[in-house]
Structure 1
Amino acid sequence: MALGLAACAGAPLHSTVKAAAPAQPLAQLVVATPDADHDVLAQLLAGEMALTRTDLKAAAGRYDKAMALSNDPKVAERAAGLAIAVHDDEAARRALARWQALGAKPAAIAQARAQLALDVGDTAEARRQLEILVGSSDKDAWRQFGRVLVGARDQAQAGRLLEALATPQRLPADAQAWLAMSELGDRLGRHAYAVQIATAAMQRFQTAETYTWAAQMKFKDGDRAGAAALLQKALVKEPQNTRLRLAYAGMLGQAGDYAAASKLLAQGPQNADTYAMRAGLAAHLHDDKALAALYRQLQNAPTEVREHSAYLLGQLAEMQNKPAEALAWYDQVGDDDAHAFDADLRSAIILHGQGKRSDAHALLEQLQLAYLDQPEPLRQAWQADAELYLTEQNYAKAEAAFSRALQVVPDDPGLLYGRGLAYAEGGQVDQAVQDFERLLKLKPGDVDASNALGYTLADANRDLPEATRLISAARAAKPDDPAIADSWGWLQYRLGHLDQAVQTLRGAWLARKDADVGVHLGEVLWQQGHRQDAQRVFDEVRKLDPHNDNLQQALKRLHP
């Protein structure tokens, strides 16, 4: 032993050959990774990604594969719904069978099978499944029944099933279900059925909602007195119901009884909707006192109501000739508000009216960028920009803005008319005539276009017979319109009928103190030799519009 220990002591401390380390247990495992076609999670993710792209067909295919790999009934349910949506009947039957095998609820599977039957036109099977659905104890059975029918490809088929199954004898003791079936019947073109169910629901439940819906049915049939009587009964049931008061007021407003509608809405609780309708009714009645009172009331309304009524407050402030307050209210309209664009548009117009032209145009340019992918707001922003340039007598920029808008909405009548005016005022007569003639082709006999083209020709002193024909037609349509009278008077001047020109222009000037009409009257008076009268008219024009370009041009012609 001593010799052995001695030998060990004389050996080197580290061997030159290392012993192999024992294998770790995890290193010996081989993990099987399924390919994408057999990976349920991969199929589900791919299906959801397809849904985000609204690619229903691709999503249906992915869920079909996922369903075969999964024991989750929700996956099979989703697969069935998608297959039905893309009208893949074979895949739908496969998914429904899988879903049922995994334990689908009877009502849910009946709903899906009814949808499939309707999709393939099998009325008998659809009815059988719908009877199973409404005969189940599921609390949402009638709601699901309505969903099946409202989504049917054949609305006539859906209407027949509705009448056959949703009868007063079968409907549950739930007023909402009756109202839903009546509304569905009206939507599916089964108005007689809708009235029948509405009347039966009103007689059975006698709630404010059933009275209100029955009233709407009567109003739709032209029985305004009957509708009003039912709405009064509804109000007795729920006198503070804001939605009910709005519905009744809306019905009165449609009948033209704005005063009664206003009186009804003025009573009881107020919210943003009641204030908005009251303002609309007051505007119809041209009741400035009521509009002013509404503005004061809204300013003192609860914060939530004011926040939801910021755009209305801005409108009311404008009506009260309070532009600074209007701007402040429009500034409070949120970006997610339905009136956000309108608030910015009105703000630009107010800024321009305050002399802040660059700010106004800058705001409109921002709107054009913000709504670049929305043609209608984009058109409105360009048109507003162009019209502001017109008021500035910057005709080149006005024409450019109108032309940009016409690229978005070709042949828009309002844009063609505006660009024609810009061309005419800018001295580009040929282009103006072309736009007005194009407009008259789109809207034959249009009064404003006829007057504009006639005036443009008269002002350019060319084709006066055609100008006479056009303006005569406009005068016949609107005999009391000062703008058309101005065109006629200027045409008479071009024809050399000075006395008739003065008579017509003086009438137009007295009817509306428009600067351009005054310039025309003054020039004709000057040519008649009535220079003091002409000078008095020119002085009035300067007060109205100190920088009027037409006045400057007229004075140059008269004082060469």
Structure 2
Amino acid sequence: MTTRLIPLALIALTAAPLLPPAALANPQLAQQAPRPKPARSAPPASDMPAPETPAKAPAPEAPAMNGLAGPYLAARQAVLGNDYPSAADYFLQALTQDDTDPFLQDSALLSLISAGEMERAGALSVTMAEQGRATELAQLMRRSELARAGRWQDLVNAIDSTPPNAGDQALGDTPGGPVLMDKMLRAWALLGAGNARQALSAFEELGKVRGARSMVNYHLALAKATVGDYEGAEKLLADPQTGAHLLGVIARAQILSQLERNKDAIAMLEAVPGFAEEPQLVALRDRMRAGETLPFDSIKSPADGMAQVFLTFASALSSGDEPDPLALIYARLASYLSPQLGEAHLLNAQLLQDFGQFDLAEAEFDALRDLGDMRPVAELARIDALSRADRLNDAEKAALALTAEHPELAQGWIALGDLLRQQDKFSQAIPAYDKALSLIGPKGGTARWFPLYARGIALERSGQFAKAETDFREALKLRPDSAQVLNYLGYSLVDRNEKLDEALRLIQRAVDLRPDDGYILDSLAWVYYRLGRYPQAVAPMERAVSAMASDPLVNDHMGDIYWMVGRHREAEIQWHRALSLKPATEAAANRIRAKLDRGLDAVLAEEKAKGGTPPEPVPAPPATDKP
């Protein structure tokens, strides 16, 4: 089995039995809801198999609790919630009771680096080394400090003096292993020490490691370019497995320009998918069009090369459904070694979002903006993070800033429209979607379907159903199997008591596509209700309630259907539950109270006498219900 570096504290905090009370062992505290992630744009790991999760090492003994219980248990609580700054403070507080305990030291170091408190982490790593207790994590931190100080020969010596089997795991030359990482760091350190030939030979030898060729060749290309071998560097980066990522494309453009091949560089840039949405690439193209020869500054020092080594490994460890906590450690080290490396700040921000640390993520986005690197992909990720943290005002301001900075970017206007829609500002959302659709253009194909669907929702909620219906039907032409659009159009027709047979067909198709979607099951049950086919409505509505037990409208609908099939007591239970879940409007709550007081038959008769049934609100899908 392939193994890789796992900090002592990380093993202990995940493998050791919990000492605090049962409340601290609640696994929900450590869980994060999965979500789609923005694409990473780090150096390549394309032919690297995902690093395997090692068998858990025996957990080190936790420190004795003599005077440590309070800060230690508080630190463990913070770790479970990914609250890295608090965890670091509490572990450091515990160290005041015993400043030689390796468990507490490594735990504090892990938390400090995760929180981005690199100066304090560096000082602690020095202490651990002086005490002869330098763990693998402390060694990595020390190597980063030597690189920042330009002490390249000392760094080479430190790596060379590390025993092959040092640390807590048996390690080897594997694509996910720290021995490979150490040797790549050593190659860059050799270059810093003035041993260019040895450095290049070291990279070439590492390229023979199974599964690591394209990753190592990328760094070999950067090293060749650093010493002026632009022809050799360009040949390596021309391989899509090596250079087909944002940093590789930028480096190759600079190298081609140094070779007086601006036309080739421009053609290469313009062929990149999504080129127009990457301001960095557009700016490089424009500079070369103006006759400028680009400098090669992708790597300004060997420390930048080391930073990209850390970034490569961080990217590999963050690529799964659940990012590895070690990915954040490597990404933090990358940005520490190369503060100008925007990709490291972006990856830090994305990982911190994944771990639910939105304030720490915001600091990384601030760092990107301070670099003048307001990339749309970064800003869109930031807007998403602010939205999920319920900071809707801040998210809206960020979306407005993005549309002001990049008014040509359709995705920015869609994000703004989604945020406004999420806040029930439907009439304000419509112009944002109008702008997005105008930018995409009538020949935009399937790129038009989501903004059409979203604008249709905003129009329907603004009382403009005729226009909304046009958008929904146009979206269906582009995506005939879009369950979201089928459901929303079908339910809207049911709500208006129009074209019920067509509505039933639309919703049945949506159910076929997404048979477990609570919103769609509610729609199917409700169209049966409106058609007077009450017994057929029971089963899908019960499934909808099972899927959306906390939705007041779905529970209210369940009550109405139970009433119509004679299950009056169960109907009252559902109405009571709907009331307890706080309906969207006071009018909806009053209608439920009336049904509980007089029964559904009496309420419907009263409404009919007043001129008809009041419209039912549509159970809204999530504001960002995208494919």
Give the TM-score category using the shorter length: 0.3 to 0.5
- The alignment's TM-score, normalised by the length of structure 1, stands at 0.47
- The alignment's TM-score, normalised by the length of structure 2, stands at 0.43
Determine which structure has greater relative contact order: mean sequence separation of CA pairs < 8 Å that are 6+ residues apart, divided by chain length.
2
More helix by share: 1
When Rg is computed on C-alpha atoms for both structures, the one with the higher figure is 1
